[in-house]
């Protein structure tokens, strides 16, 4: 699987990066087992999402979206190579749930032995000893059969038990890091976990525990780049012959962070995330 995310200071059209990303869903790469995109409305807290179990590169819906400028502050997309769960619409990322009156969304690349062995596994890292939770610990349940959705539900369940309402970003950052560590420590060598997690229209967490599957030389990690003033004059996509002059389309106060499994462009500086790194992007 591969991931794409964008987090922006002001409403930004994501179709340039989206066009290049879609090619990897069956044209320039093998991730042809479905695709999905989720983005928050530019003004407000609602979401729009599209899912398809067919290849992204040949999807009429995906092509339609990529040909029409869509502005958002926060978005994610996923192209799937099925390893856990069949090629079904219910297994297509991103997944979304409501918590504390906020739309949360999640997309992942990797393998999580903890949830492959037990999709109902609970996360205990935030529990206080001898503390009795006042709410059902398994409020959220997966609909499909992926380890990704099971992990998403487990993380939300752990946060919901621990906090009555949305905590501050530093507190939430610390809680998420503890939960990630708990998942990884179940099987550090066998786990590959790269994900994008959004909390409302402004905030996006990105986590990377990279690796290669047994018998494969393909490295699964995450990269990011931040587009800000002064902008690149000629930004060329890697997967399709399309370029854009960001210096003519963006304003000085614009700031956009783009996250991808592999760099999407040839002439921007992309940073690879470190193992176990959790980054929060907030308004760019």
Q: What is the pLDDT of residues 144-177, one digit of tens each?
A: 999 999 999 999 999 999 999 999 999 999 999 9
pLDDT at 132: 56
pTM (predicted TM-score): 0.94
Domain boundaries, the chain: 84-191
- Is pLDDT of 134 > 70? no
Residue-wise pLDDT for 90-129, tens only, equals 999 999 999 999 999 999 999 999 999 999 999 998 987 6
Confirm whether 8 is a catalytic residue. Answer: no
The label of the residue with tokens 């040909």 reads 67
**Residue range 244-278, pLDDT digits in tens:** 888 777 777 889 999 999 999 998 999 999 999 99
Place of tokens 């783009």: 258
CA atoms within 13 A on the CB side of 64: 4
Distance (Å, whole) CA 147 – CA 85: 8
At residue 250, the pLDDT reads 76
Point out the catalytic residue in the list 1, 153, 235, 255. Answer: 1
CA dist., res. 153 & res. 133, Å (int): 17
Q: What is residue 234's three-state secondary structure? A: coil
Task: Indicate the CATH number of 84-191 among 1.10.10.10, 3.60.20.10, 1.10.3720.10, 3.30.70.100.
Answer: 3.60.20.10
- Relative to beta strand 102-111, strand 235-236 is unpaired
130: pLDDT confidence band, cut at 50, 70 and 90?
Answer: low
């Amino acid at each position: 699987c591969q991931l794409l995310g964008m987090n922006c200071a002001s409403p930004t059209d994501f179709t340039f990066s989206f066009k290049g990303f879609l090619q990897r869903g069956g044209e320039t790469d093998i991730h042809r087992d479905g695709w999905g995109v989720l983005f928050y409305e530019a003004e407000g807290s609602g979401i729009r999402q599209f899912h398809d179990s067919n290849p992204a590169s040949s999807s009429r819906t995906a092509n339609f979206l990529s040909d029409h400028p869509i502005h958002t502050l926060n978005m994610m997309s996923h192209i799937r190579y099925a390893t856990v769960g069949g090629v079904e619409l219910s297994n297509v990322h991103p997944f979304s749930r409501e918590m504390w009156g906020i739309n949360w969304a999640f997309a992942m690349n990797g393998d999580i032995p903890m949830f492959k062995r037990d999709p109902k596994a609970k996360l205990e890292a935030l529990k206080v000893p001898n503390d009795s939770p006042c709410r059902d610990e398994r409020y959220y349940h997966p609909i499909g059969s992926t380890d990704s959705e099971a992990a998403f539900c487990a993380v939300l369940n752990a946060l919901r038990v621990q906090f009555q309402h949305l905590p501050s970003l530093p507190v939430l950052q610390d809680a998420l890091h503890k939960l990630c560590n708990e998942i990884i420590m179940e099987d550090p060598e066998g786990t590959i976990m790269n994900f994008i997690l959004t909390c409302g229209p402004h905030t996006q967490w990105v986590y990377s525990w990279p690796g290669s599957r047994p018998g494969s030389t393909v490295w699964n990690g995450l990269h990011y780049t931040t587009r800000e003033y002064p902008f690149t004059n000629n930004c060329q996509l890697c997967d399709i012959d399309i370029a854009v002059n960001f210096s003519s389309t963006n304003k000085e106060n614009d700031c956009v962070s783009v996250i991808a499994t592999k760099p999407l462009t040839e002439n921007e500086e992309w940073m690879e995330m470190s193992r176990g790194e959790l980054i929060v992007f907030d308004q760019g």
